Chain A
Amino acid sequence: MRFIDEFRDGELASGLAAAIRRVVRRDREYRFMEFCGGHTHTISRYGLSDLLPHQVRMIHGPGCPVCVLPIGRIDMAIRLVRDAGVMLCSYGDPMRVPASGGLSLLKAKAGPGRASGSDIRMIYSAADALLVARQNPQRQVVLLAIGFETTTPPTALVIKQAQALGLGNFSVLCCHVLTPPAIASILDSPEVRQGGSVGIDGLVGPAHVSTIIGTQPYEFVAEQYRKPVVVAGFEPLDVMQAILMLIEQVNAGRALVENQFSRAVTREGNRKAQNLMAEVFELRRSFAWRGLGDLPFSALRIRREFAEFDAERRFAIRYEAVADHPACECGAILRGVKRPSQCRLFASVCTPENPVGSCMVSSEGACAAHYSFGRFADLERVS
């Protein structure tokens, strides 16, 4: 696979690992947060921690749309199916997210009530949801739209297409969230601000989000918080180079936004996609993030001009907050304050088969990634 396999080369990796060992100072620790679940997955899947010196600690951030989706949002989707009788189209990822009453979209599909196999459909592309609506004119079809800025432009496009087609039976339950406000929230959290044991020395910025928004929106992190940011690709060599670039910045006392993923990302990003998002969506005053709480201006909703395609308006449903399990540490884990193994539910009550918290649901969640790929390390440490 061109432009993929080259970036997974084990030989180059050992060279990069040597380069990292060469610049690491022995007298300090480097704590970097990879904001994005894609990077978390890469680190776990390729066993990157084995190649990094012990002075470098990677902290898994909240950049996983499934992990930050609050219970109440999945509840809304299930209510739409059960009470309003809609046909719900969802990407595969949210299907297993636990909702209230022990439900999930998968369980709602299997369980009693109005929902049956045909009422909750798994789709691969936003365009598929539009197709489902056109093929089922007698049914109301709702797209459960999740994701960061990467997944938002396709949703904007299908809303515009639905309008152009005059489609009266299609709407979107918009749960799109924004990357920069989430980064700001982490840097503002008291534990991180105080520095000390949970300080963050730099950030690995998301790859595919940045193809859309560019690197400019991260400049506030360098300017206001004095933290370096390196936007990096999702292949393992990309992540290693980004870590090297961050270490060099830290050593030199610099705080800049650098772009490791220059093959697909520019400072400005994809203007066409940005304009499309601005045309269809506007900022929400506040949005509840699982684990991070209510964050101001951190998510999008559908503009009034497209109100008929907004499922929240069309079906007059409201978000109702649902408390997470009291012992669940997802919030602290998402902020990098705790590690998965420091949660007492981890691997006992909370497992990928029976996830309690959101970090265990998505394979990109910090807990699931650690459970599936890295938990032998805990046992070695103990034994």
Chain B
Amino acid sequence: MSRTHKAYVRPLDLRQGRIDMTHGSGGRATAQLIEELFVRRLGNAYLGQGNDAAVLPMPPGRLVMSTDAHVVSPLFFPGGDIGCLAVHGTINDLAVVGATPLYLAASFVLEEGFPLSDLARIVESMAAAASAAGVPVVTGDTKVVEKGSGDGVYITTTGVGVVTEGDEWSGDRARPADRIIVSGSIGEHGMAIMAQRENLGFAAAIASDTAALHGLIAAMRASGAAIRVLRDPTRGGVATTLNEIACQSGVGMMLQESALPVRPEVAAACEFLGLDPLYVANEGKVVAIVAPEDAERLLAAMRAHPLGRQAAVIGSVHQDAHSFVQMTTAFGGRRIVDWLTGEQLPRIC
């Protein structure tokens, strides 16, 4: 691609410039955008090949693949932005089935008029996240849609990883008496996003928990604990994730409300909006179902990792043909923790 470089009259104006339709036309403007904005930041040997597809070395094991479209409003929020979120989201999807993430592909849908400065910030954040995680972005694509047809930028990331045969985790393996562990305080990503929405007018020091979890998960595997299921409780929160696992495994679950790690600001913001932190999205947490005798060992391994300091056992699995997830409330009563219904809307009553 560097051969075309000399053909550019002027470098991209990363201060004042905006995306226009020519950036998606496939012509010289597209090539310039890719080279000066994307490749320069995300640069690695595979991306630098400049071909239509990346040709990659493949370690032994079974191939694991996952894809995730990222749309978020606002694009920048405390604790992160759509760029690092797109990297973390796909890495985590690979890691929770037991894979070692290897490579990412990223596809951008840009809205005409989107500031190049914001795009550069997003791509820098992606690059930093990918480099910190040790998972390079090896191929990509951009398209431009007319103003009004998009929300600034959408990013789809696809990830490839490997897992040793027999080492993968699946949602149908929870067994009665297993323990349920969550890696840290819940509801932070969702509330950080909500607090940013202007019409709610909150001032709260809540940052998104967005993070790549494969390091923590590798430490969990290394502990030797008999992990049955792992899952990252994103949309729909911990409640929805546990309901998915309960249904897949055909078991019931009983949570202890007093054991749920929730930061006070998150709890307070949830009170304001009439929301339940169990249903609020996380982007840097993992839920583990583990054999009862190994729960302490796994917990210790998680707490020794920076992303698992606040890990806690929040409940246990039991036999239940209805696959209900229930909770003993801090008050001493019992209730169902159901699937999320519809969208989480702020309530006044």
- Chain A residues in contact with chain B, CB under 8 A? 1, 4, 8-10, 13-14, 17, 37-38, 44-51, 64-66, 91-93, 95-96, 106, 121-124, 128, 147, 151, 236, 352-353, 362-364, 371-376, 379
| With contact pairs A1-B271, A353-B342, A376-B326 given, residues A46 and B347 touching in the complex (Cβ less than 8 Å) | no
Q: In the complex, are the beta carbons of B322 and A376 less than 8 A apart? A: yes
When distances are taken between beta carbons in the complex, the residues of chain A under 8 Å from B16 are none
CA distance A144 to B258 in the complex (A): 38
Q: In the complex, are the beta carbons of B349 and A66 less than 8 A apart? A: yes
The smallest beta-carbon distance between B328 and chain A, in angstroms, is 8
CA distance A8 to B267 in the complex (A): 14
Q: Give me 16 A-to-B residue pairs in the complex whose CB atoms sit less than 8 angstroms apart, sorted by A's number.
A: A1-B264, A10-B332, A44-B335, A46-B333, A50-B332, A92-B345, A92-B346, A93-B345, A93-B349, A96-B342, A121-B199, A122-B346, A147-B349, A374-B335, A376-B324, A376-B336
Most buried by B among A47, A151, A371: A47
- Please name the residue on chain A nearest to B327 by beta carbon: A47
| With contact pairs A91-B348, A95-B345 given, residues A8 and B333 touching in the complex (Cβ less than 8 Å) | no
| With contact pairs A372-B341, A373-B336 given, residues A46 and B331 touching in the complex (Cβ less than 8 Å) | yes
Q: In the complex, are the beta carbons of B335 and A47 less than 8 A apart? A: yes
CA distance A121 to B198 in the complex (A): 13
- Chain B 288-331 interface residues, beta-carbon cutoff 8 Å to A: 322, 324, 326, 328-331
When distances are taken between beta carbons in the complex, the residues of chain B under 8 Å from A122 are 199, 345-346
When distances are taken between beta carbons in the complex, the residues of chain A under 8 Å from B200 are 124
Contact of A92 among B324, B329, B334, B347 (CB under 8 A): B347
Q: In the complex, are the beta carbons of A45 and B329 less than 8 A apart? A: yes
CA distance A147 to B349 in the complex (A): 8
| With contact pairs A1-B268, A373-B335 given, residues A64 and B349 touching in the complex (Cβ less than 8 Å) | yes
Residues of B within 8 A of A (CB-CB), count: 31
- Please name the residue on chain B nearest to A96 by beta carbon: B342
Q: Is B338 close to A, CB under 8 A?
A: yes
Extra pairs beyond A17-B332, A47-B331, A123-B199 (20, CB < 8 Å): A1-B268, A9-B331, A10-B329, A45-B329, A46-B335, A47-B328, A48-B331, A50-B332, A50-B333, A51-B333, A91-B347, A92-B347, A93-B345, A122-B199, A124-B348, A151-B349, A353-B342, A363-B274, A372-B338, A379-B322
The smallest beta-carbon distance between B275 and chain A, in angstroms, is 10
Q: In the complex, are the beta carbons of B342 and A352 less than 8 A apart? A: yes
Q: Is B166 close to A, CB under 8 A?
A: no
The smallest beta-carbon distance between A87 and chain B, in angstroms, is 13
CA distance A345 to B348 in the complex (A): 27
Q: In the complex, are the beta carbons of B329 and A46 less than 8 A apart? A: yes
CA distance A376 to B318 in the complex (A): 14
Contact of A374 among B201, B268, B336 (CB under 8 A): B336
Q: In the complex, are the beta carbons of A45 and B335 less than 8 A apart? A: yes
Most buried by A among B264, B268, B326, B342: B342
- Please name the residue on chain B nearest to A151 by beta carbon: B348
Inter-chain contact total with CB atoms closer than 8 Å:
102
CA distance A358 to B116 in the complex (A): 48
- Please name the residue on chain A nearest to B342 by beta carbon: A96
- Chain B residues in contact with chain A, CB under 8 A? 199-201, 258, 264, 267-268, 271, 273-274, 322, 324, 326, 328-336, 338, 341-343, 345-349
Q: In the complex, are the beta carbons of B341 and A375 less than 8 A apart? A: no
Q: In the complex, are the beta carbons of A47 and B201 less than 8 A apart? A: no
The smallest beta-carbon distance between B239 and chain A, in angstroms, is 10
- Please name the residue on chain A nearest to B344 by beta carbon: A92
Q: In the complex, are the beta carbons of B267 and A1 less than 8 A apart? A: yes
When distances are taken between beta carbons in the complex, the residues of chain A under 8 Å from B199 are 121-124, 128
Q: In the complex, are the beta carbons of B346 and A10 less than 8 A apart? A: no
When distances are taken between beta carbons in the complex, the residues of chain B under 8 Å from A96 are 342, 345
When distances are taken between beta carbons in the complex, the residues of chain A under 8 Å from B273 are 124
- Please name the residue on chain B nearest to A95 by beta carbon: B345
When distances are taken between beta carbons in the complex, the residues of chain B under 8 Å from A92 are 345-348
The smallest beta-carbon distance between A170 and chain B, in angstroms, is 16
- Please name the residue on chain A nearest to B346 by beta carbon: A92
When distances are taken between beta carbons in the complex, the residues of chain A under 8 Å from B348 are 91-93, 124, 147, 151
CA distance A379 to B334 in the complex (A): 14
When distances are taken between beta carbons in the complex, the residues of chain A under 8 Å from B329 are 10, 45-47
- Please name the residue on chain B nearest to A121 by beta carbon: B199
The smallest beta-carbon distance between A4 and chain B, in angstroms, is 7
Q: Identify the 3 closest CB pairs spanning chains A and B, nearest first.
A: A47-B333, A92-B345, A352-B341
Q: In the complex, are the beta carbons of A48 and B333 less than 8 A apart? A: yes
The smallest beta-carbon distance between B184 and chain A, in angstroms, is 21
Q: In the complex, are the beta carbons of B336 and A10 less than 8 A apart? A: no
When distances are taken between beta carbons in the complex, the residues of chain B under 8 Å from A37 are 349
The smallest beta-carbon distance between B131 and chain A, in angstroms, is 37
CA distance A372 to B337 in the complex (A): 7
